[in-house]
Amino acid sequence: MKSGKQRRAEIKAKRLKRISERDNTVNPFKHPMPEWAIPVNKDEVHHHSMFFDIPLFYVDKEFLCRDCGTTEVWTAKQQKWWYEIAKGDLETTAVRCHACRNKIKAEKTAQKQHMAEVAKRKSHPNDAFFKKS
């Protein structure tokens, strides 16, 4: 059986290959739309800046992770989710790879847990002095 990590690496390699074989001069603001692109639903896109035009369709994008510098793919499908379901601003794009995002998520969870534990701790005996009864 393959581990999730291996599988993810394979999927990533496939995506990168797929992108490299494509016509990357495609302009998402101009028709025609390539068959591998995903159309944008303008009504669902959260758009409040006059400086950003809404594209006609999403195309898979390559980017470098801000934290570890590896090449990642932000797929058209993920973009559609981000802009239309999660209502991410058009100005925002993916900046971190899967692994680095998970790392941050884990750190945040650990911190939350720590805060909860601190809150549960017995209060200092002197605290009673400051409390209104």
Which residues bind to Zn ion, rule: CB under 5 A?
Answer: 65, 67-68, 97, 100
Which of 68, 110 has the CB closer to Zn ion?
A: 68
Quote the CA–CA distance of 59 and 15 in Å, as a whole number.
12
Residue closer to Zn ion (CB basis): 16 or 65: 65
CB of 72 to Zn ion, least distance (A): 7
E strands, the chain, are: 38-39, 57-58, 61-64, 71-74
Min separation Cβ 103 and Zn ion, Å: 8
133 HSE (CA, 13 A, CB side): 3
Closer by beta carbon to Zn ion, 64 or else 115: 64
